[in-house]
Amino acid sequence: MSANAAPILSVDHVGVRFGGLVAIADLHFDVREGEILSLIGPNGAGKTTAFNVVTGFLKPTQGEVRLRGTSLSGLSPNRINRLGLARTFQRTSVFPNDTVTDNVLIGLHREDRGASLLEAIFNLPRERAGEAARREKARALIDWVGLSARANERAGALSYGEQRLVGVALALATEPSMLLLDEPVSGMNASETQNFVRLIRSVRDRGVTILLVEHDMPMVMEVSDRIVALNHGKLIADGTPDEIRADPAVIEAYLGKSAAAREAEREAAHA
Partner 1 sequence: MTRYLPPAILVVLALLPLVLKDPYLLNALITGGIFTIGAISLNLLLGYTGQLSLGHIAFFGIGAYASALTTLGFDIGIFGDFRIVHEGWHPFAGFIVAILLSGACGYVVGRLSFRVRGAYFVIVTICFAEVVRLVALNWVELTQGPLALTAIPQMKIGFPGLGEITLRTKAQNYYLMLAVAALAYVVVARLVSSRFGRAMRGLKENEQLAISVGVNATRTLTVAAAISAAIAGAAGSIYAHYFRIIDPDVFLFTYTVTMVIMVVSGGKGALAGPVIGGLIFGTLPVALRPYMAPEAQWIVYGAVLIAILFLMPRGIAPYLDDWFASRRRAPARAPVAQPQLEGQP
Ligand X SMILES: Nc1ncnc2c1ncn2[C@@H]1O[C@H](COP(=O)(O)OP(=O)(O)O)[C@@H](O)[C@H]1O
Whole-Å CA distances, 95 to 31, 170, 244: 29, 10, 36
Query: Contact, 65 vs 11, CB < 8 A?
Result: yes
List the single partner that 62 binds among partner 1, Mg ion, ligand X, none, CB under 5 to 8 Å by kind.
none
Helix (H), strand (E) counts: the chain: 11, 10
Give the nearer residue to ligand X in terms of CB position, either 47 or 150: 47
Q: How far is the CB of 13 from partner 1 (least distance, A)?
A: 25
* Three-state DSSP class for residue 96: coil
Stretch in the footprint of ligand X (CB under 6 A) among 45-53, 71-79, 204-212, 218-226: 45-53
Give the nearer residue to partner 1 in terms of CB position, either 25 or 31: 31
Give the nearer residue to partner 1 in terms of CB position, either 182 or 252: 182
Q: What is the four-CA torsion angle of 219, 223, 229, 235, rounded to 10 degrees?
A: -160
Q: Does 81 bind ligand X (CB under 6 A)?
A: no
What residues have CB less than 8 Å from 76, skipping those under 6 apart? 56
Give the nearer residue to Mg ion in terms of CB position, either 34 or 41: 41
| Helix, strand, coil content of the chain in percent (nearest 5) | 45, 25, 30
The Cβ of residue 122 has, within 10 Å, a number of other Cβ atoms equal to 10
Per CB under 5 A, contacts with Mg ion among 59-118 are 90
Q: How far is the CB of 58 from partner 1 (least distance, A)?
A: 12
Q: Which of 48, 81, 88, 193 binds Mg ion (CB under 5 A)?
A: 48
Q: Does 49 bind ligand X (CB under 6 A)?
A: yes
What residues have CB less than 8 Å from 178, skipping those under 6 apart? 8, 9, 31, 67, 84, 85, 86, 208, 209, 210, 211
Distance separating alpha carbons of residues 51 and 41, to the nearest angstrom = 13
Q: Does 41 bind ligand X (CB under 6 A)?
A: yes
Give the nearer residue to ligand X in terms of CB position, either 17 or 68: 17
List the single partner that 49 binds among partner 1, ligand X, Mg ion, none, CB under 5 to 8 Å by kind.
ligand X
Distance separating alpha carbons of residues 77 and 57, to the nearest angstrom = 6
Give the nearer residue to partner 1 in terms of CB position, either 66 or 137: 137
Q: How far is the CB of 194 from partner 1 (least distance, A)?
A: 10
Q: Which of 1, 6, 13, 18 binds ligand X (CB under 6 A)?
A: 18
Residues that bind partner 1 (CB under 8 A): 55, 57, 76-78, 81-82, 86-87, 89, 92-98, 102, 105-111, 117, 120-123, 127, 130-131, 134, 137, 140-141, 143-150, 159, 161-162, 165, 170-174, 192, 195, 198-199, 202, 206
Q: Which of 43, 123, 191, 258 binds ligand X (CB under 6 A)?
A: 43
The Cβ of residue 30 has, within 10 Å, a number of other Cβ atoms equal to 18
What residues have CB less than 8 Å from 51, skipping those under 6 apart? 87, 180, 182, 211, 213
The Cβ of residue 92 has, within 10 Å, a number of other Cβ atoms equal to 12
The binding site for ligand X (CB under 6 A) comprises 18, 21, 23, 41, 43-49
- State the residues that interact with Mg ion by CB under 5 A: 48, 90
